[in-house]
Amino acid sequence: MTVESVFERAMLAADLSGIIDFDEEEWETLGDLAIAEGLEGLLYWHCIRSAVEMPSEARYILRTEYRAWATDNFAALQALQLVLDEFRHRQIEIVVLPGAPLLAFYPDPGCRPMGDIDLLVRPQQASAAAAALAAMDFTSPDRYDDLYCKGALLIDLHTDLFHCERIAARRHAGQLSVEQIWAGCWVCEVEGVEMSVPRLEDMVLYTVAHALRHSYRRLSWFADLRLLIDQDLDWSYLFAAARTCHLERPLYYGVCFLQERGPLPAPLEGWMQDRGLSKVEAWLLQRAFAGRRDGELGDVLWSFNVEGLLQRLQFLAQTYFPQPSVMLQVFPFLPKPLFPLAYGLRFGQLMFRGGRQLAGLMRKT
Residues that bind another protein (CB under 8 A): 44-45, 48-49, 63, 66-67, 70-71, 74-75, 78, 107-110, 191-192
Bridge partners, residue 157, by sequence: 119
Instruction: Give the chain's end-to-end CA distance (angstroms, integer).
Output: 21
Nearer to another protein, 69 or 253 (CB): 69
* Alpha-carbon distance values, 137 to 78, 131, 142 (Å): 16, 10, 16
Taking the C-alpha atoms of residue 281 and residue 272, their distance in angstroms, rounded to an integer, is: 15
Supply the minimum distance, in Å, between the C-beta of residue 80 and another protein. Answer: 13
**In 10 A of CB 233, how many CB atoms?**
18
Supply the minimum distance, in Å, between the C-beta of residue 71 and another protein. Answer: 5
> In what order do the strands lie in the sheet containing 153-158?
94-96, 117-121, 153-158, 147-150
Supply the minimum distance, in Å, between the C-beta of residue 192 and another protein. Answer: 7
Supply the minimum distance, in Å, between the C-beta of residue 230 and another protein. Answer: 20
Beta strand 153-158 with 117-121 is parallel
Nearer to another protein, 72 or 156 (CB): 72
Q: Is the dihedral of CA 37, 39, 44, 47 positive or negative?
A: negative
Nearer to another protein, 123 or 151 (CB): 151
Asked whether the bond before 31 is cis by omega within 30 degrees of 0, the reply is: no
Supply the minimum distance, in Å, between the C-beta of residue 49 and another protein. Answer: 6
Nearer to another protein, 110 or 298 (CB): 110
Nearer to another protein, 84 or 181 (CB): 84
- Reference 244, options 303, 309, 187, 179; nearest CA is 179
Contacts of 307 (CB under 8 A, 6+ apart): 172
Q: Phi and psi (nearest 5°) for 155?
A: -110, 130
Residue 197, helix vs strand vs coil:
strand
Nearer to another protein, 45 or 252 (CB): 45
Supply the minimum distance, in Å, between the C-beta of residue 138 and another protein. Answer: 17
Q: Is 210 exposed, middle or buried (0-12, 13-18, 19+ CB in 10 A)?
A: buried
Nearer to another protein, 152 or 350 (CB): 152
Nearer to another protein, 70 or 326 (CB): 70
Supply the minimum distance, in Å, between the C-beta of residue 201 and another protein. Answer: 29
Supply the minimum distance, in Å, between the C-beta of residue 48 and another protein. Answer: 5
